[in-house]
Amino acid sequence: MSSLVVAIDGPAAAGKGTIAKELARTLDLAYLDTGSLYRAVAHAVILAGGDPASDEAAAHAAKTLDIEAIDQTAIRTREVGSAASLVAAKPQVRAELLETQRRIAKHPPAGKAGVVMDGRDIGTVVCPDADVKLYVTASDDARAHRRWLELSQADPDLTEKQVLADLTERDRRDSERATSPLVQAEDATLLDTTNLSIEAAIQAALDIVGRR
């Protein structure tokens, strides 16, 4: 029996990670934040003293990435986030991580019946035949505010204007890259979380999955 795959794509800070985690918990499915893989690659390059813009450094980090050893706290910084969009644009990195993602989709860990995957190209490239596809988005200002609330705890001097600039640049890179650009799949259901509470956004996603 094939596993159930729920693909959730969208730009940074739109709420897709929160929604994906709760869907996985409620439906008792595995969960994979594919963005963390690219963040981990970027973090590995930085730790090694390399340049995230270097094809060779990024490809090596992707090839030697140990998923089990990813430090989820260390990869959630502003620096790593910016570097992640650089390494994610590299075909060698995406090719290396693509097989990992597809393997998890086909064989979810812990004996789960399926997996919820969130990222930027799940419904278009990684799992184009996913059972359910959502494209989660929100206004630029809403996303910048959410990300600022998250990052300002560790960086009190950070401003929402700086965060908005970072998000805008990351959106540009993600949407314009030649390999697997950020785009809504034709058969994905759009979920705009701009004016939704966390609870309302999660319920809306559950309703979409239920209808499918």
Give me the DSSP letters along 129-194.
T-SEEEEEE--HHHHHHHHHHHHTTT-TT--HHHHHHHHHHHHHHHHH-SSS-----TTPEEEE-T
d(CA 56, CA 77): 23
What is the structure's pLDDT at 17? 95
Give the relative orientation of helices 91-106 and 34-47 as an angle to the nearest 10 degrees.
140
In which band, very low, low, confident or very high, does the pLDDT at 203 lie, cut at 50, 70 and 90?
very high
What is the structure's pLDDT at 3? 87
pLDDT at 2 over 90: no
171 phi, psi to nearest 5 deg: -60, -40
pLDDT at 1 over 70: no
What is the structure's pLDDT at 211? 87
What is the structure's pLDDT at 178? 87
d(CA 148, CA 204): 25
Mean pLDDT along residues 191-195: 98
CATH number of 4-207: 3.40.50.300
Task: Count CB neighbours of 113 within 10 A.
Answer: 13
Mean pLDDT along residues 153-173: 94
For the whole model, what pTM was predicted?
0.90
Q: What is the domain partition of the chain in residue ranges?
A: 4-207
**182 and 121 in contact (C-beta within 8 Å)?**
yes
In which band, very low, low, confident or very high, does the pLDDT at 87 lie, cut at 50, 70 and 90?
very high
